[in-house]
A = this chain, B = another copy of it.
Amino acid sequence: VNASSKSPRLLKARVATALVIGVVFGGLAFATDPSGTLTGTVKDLPLAKPGEPTLAELGALLGQGRIAINIIWTMIAAFLVMFMQAGFALAETGFTRAKNAGHTMVMNFLIYGIGILGFLMVGFAFQMGGSGGSSALGGGANLSQMLGVTIGDQFFGLLGFSGFGLSGNAYDVPTFALFFFHLVFMDTALTIPTGAMAERWKLSAFVVYGFVASMLIYPVFASWAWGGGWLSTLGKNFGLGHGYVDFAGSGVVHLTGGVMALMGVIVLGPRIGKYGRDGSVRSIPGHNQPMAMLGVFILAFGWFGFNAGSTLAGTDLRLVTVAVSAMVTSAAAMLSAALFSTALLGKLDLGHTANGLLAGLVATTASGAFIGAPASVLLGAIAGILYVSAAIFIEHKLKLDDPVSAIAVHGVSGLWGVLSVGILADGTYGNGLNGVTGGVTGLLYGGYGQFLAQVIGIVANLAWVGLSSYAMFRAIDATIGMRVKPHQEIEGLDYHQIATPAYSYPALEGDAGVNEIGRELVKR
């Protein structure tokens, strides 16, 4: 604890002794506290009279300790969610073609940075500016401005409006923690369309999308659901269960991402060669499915932060059952998707197996906090079958070209996840959520109002995200254009939009030009 004793001696026999002890065993006679049982005592508390705590001091320190537990839990969870960016990058790149690998990869990089700046400047203030912060994180009450309309005597919150740039009185630890956590969620939503729209999206158009979505499209819906907006007050104000409930964002994050992807795919059109003139559908296999599957594992890993971390509190022990539900649901969905797709295709499909796991994770994201293990199995089994059906329907019937099936995974399963809260929630959790007493309860336990609130949330998402993103993509298309030129698409986007190729394996054969010189040098 104290400072070093500094008698200046340079080299001593002490060295030899220390080194010898370092090599031989034991030295247990000299051990200080190897078991850790003596470490940490009342002396480690900052007290007015060292070693003599008062009740008030202990209370204050305990209050700080609880916030510290909540904050480190929330931050570590957010780190895991941030890592999901790598998962998306790999999954999207692996499931598409090598000639576009650099382009797909770099979109996943750029969206991370664009999203951060857009959310910092504007998006966070719109989303959480009227939320009052999070008491579990110790405050953030400076987030106190909400724009909205009053109809009758009910206030409908439409948009938060404080915390811009995290400056002024938003330079505050609890506010920064809330920002960090919601930022990585927003970035998750934004990275979903990069997969669905891969292999033909123009980089400049993509950059515009990134700023508009992080500053406006995502934050508005998130403010309705999580920022104290009108969807969250449907329960308190109109008696619809706890209002719209979306624990970690099956709707806010995944349905939003899926709907933006859908609109983008509609505006962009299919990749050249995907659909024949006779209406035939061609499969375009990804270039590196093990890469994509590593991505899915990374997503599954990060998802524990995504869902369990959404308690925003390490002292809310429900985080445990949230994690278990995520795991069980994902397992059931993977297996049901694998079985169902094998039944349809005759062989096991890597993409459907991996995407089935994700579909389960998407579904449990809203409802996993409100259900036990057996219900999680059911939730996942349905999610897996639903995903495979939707992916095939979208590709073959709707003729929408989504290279990574992001619309089915995030959109369709996200919708199912939101709905499942209104069906499966068993009433064991959620007391006080959105200002409503008692646990969140779905149809199977008599919660009709909750079901209705979930339906309203879905309709609101489809309406806002669908219309605003469609308008945005159309506007981009009408101005700078959404799509690369056909010959660029055929020759590969990397060749036209990226400075250096993603892969350079000819190197294996002998480095052509470089070795030419090399051999020359050797001869000398």
Q: Does A127 contact B (CB under 8 A)?
A: no
Interface size on A, residues (CB 8 A): 222
The reply to whether B72 and A44 form a contact with Cβ atoms under 8 Å apart is no
Q: Does A305 contact B (CB under 8 A)?
A: yes
> Which stretch from A77-85, A257-265, A447-455 is at the chain B interface?
A77-85
Interface bits A140-172 vs B (CB < 8 Å: 1, else 0): 111111111110000101001110111111111
The reply to whether A165 and B373 form a contact with Cβ atoms under 8 Å apart is yes
The reply to whether A499 and B1 form a contact with Cβ atoms under 8 Å apart is no
Nearest-CB residue, chain B, relative to A336: B113
> Which stretch from A5-13, A247-255, A401-409, A414-422 is at the chain B interface?
A5-13
Q: Does A133 contact B (CB under 8 A)?
A: yes
Nearest-CB residue, chain B, relative to A334: B113
The reply to whether B428 and A8 form a contact with Cβ atoms under 8 Å apart is no
Interface bits A488-501 vs B (CB < 8 Å: 1, else 0): 01100000011111
Nearest-CB residue, chain B, relative to A318: B36
The reply to whether B65 and A331 form a contact with Cβ atoms under 8 Å apart is no
Q: Which residues of B contact A117 (CB under 8 A)?
A: 328, 331-332, 335, 377
> SS class of chain A's interface: helix, strand, loop or mixed?
helix
Distance, CA A53 to CA B76, complexed state (A): 30
Q: Does A93 contact B (CB under 8 A)?
A: yes
Q: Does A109 contact B (CB under 8 A)?
A: yes
> Given contacts A6-B130, A505-B287, is CB(A41)–CB(B19) below 8 Å?
no
Kindly provide the distance from the CB of A222 to the nearest chain B CB, expressed in whole angstroms: 14
Q: Using a CB-CB cutoff of 8 Å, which residues 5-62 of chain A contact chain B?
A: 5-6, 8-10, 14-15, 18-19, 21-28, 30-37, 39-45, 47, 51, 53-56, 58-62
The reply to whether B62 and A58 form a contact with Cβ atoms under 8 Å apart is yes
The reply to whether B298 and A173 form a contact with Cβ atoms under 8 Å apart is no
> Which stretch from A98-106, A238-246, A466-474, A475-483 is at the chain B interface?
A98-106
> Given contacts A8-B149, A33-B174, A40-B66, is CB(A164)–CB(B502) below 8 Å?
no
Kindly provide the distance from the CB of A435 to the nearest chain B CB, expressed in whole angstroms: 8
The reply to whether A273 and B500 form a contact with Cβ atoms under 8 Å apart is no
Q: Which residues of B contact A514 (CB under 8 A)?
A: 272-273, 282, 284
Nearest-CB residue, chain B, relative to A22: B165
Q: Does A285 contact B (CB under 8 A)?
A: yes
> Given contacts A86-B297, A288-B503, is CB(A444)–CB(B25) below 8 Å?
yes
Q: Which residues of B contact A266 (CB under 8 A)?
A: none
- How many copies of the shown chain assemble into the complex? 3
The reply to whether B44 and A347 form a contact with Cβ atoms under 8 Å apart is no
Q: Which residues of B contact A98 (CB under 8 A)?
A: 504-505, 507-508
Distance, CA A15 to CA B285, complexed state (A): 47
The reply to whether A518 and B39 form a contact with Cβ atoms under 8 Å apart is no
The reply to whether B176 and A293 form a contact with Cβ atoms under 8 Å apart is no
Q: Which residues of B contact A138 (CB under 8 A)?
A: 39-40, 44, 317
The reply to whether B99 and A508 form a contact with Cβ atoms under 8 Å apart is yes
> Which stretch from A348-356, A385-393, A457-465 is at the chain B interface?
A348-356
Kindly provide the distance from the CB of A289 to the nearest chain B CB, expressed in whole angstroms: 5
The reply to whether B321 and A176 form a contact with Cβ atoms under 8 Å apart is yes
The reply to whether A72 and B1 form a contact with Cβ atoms under 8 Å apart is no
Which of B47, B60, B93 is in CB contact (< 8 Å) with A41? B60
Kindly provide the distance from the CB of A122 to the nearest chain B CB, expressed in whole angstroms: 8
Distance, CA A35 to CA B513, complexed state (A): 56
Subset of 16 A-B contacts with CB under 8 Å: A6-B130, A14-B161, A18-B125, A21-B165, A26-B445, A39-B64, A47-B59, A69-B314, A115-B331, A116-B331, A173-B320, A176-B320, A176-B321, A273-B514, A288-B502, A289-B500
Rank and list the top 5 A-B pairs by shortest CB-CB distance, nearest first: A22-B165, A36-B317, A40-B67, A32-B172, A40-B64
Since A53-B62, A117-B335 are in contact, a sample of 13 more A-B pairs with Cβ atoms closer than 8 Å, ordered by chain A residue number, is: A2-B144, A8-B148, A28-B171, A34-B429, A45-B62, A62-B62, A69-B69, A69-B72, A75-B320, A112-B331, A115-B331, A117-B331, A490-B511
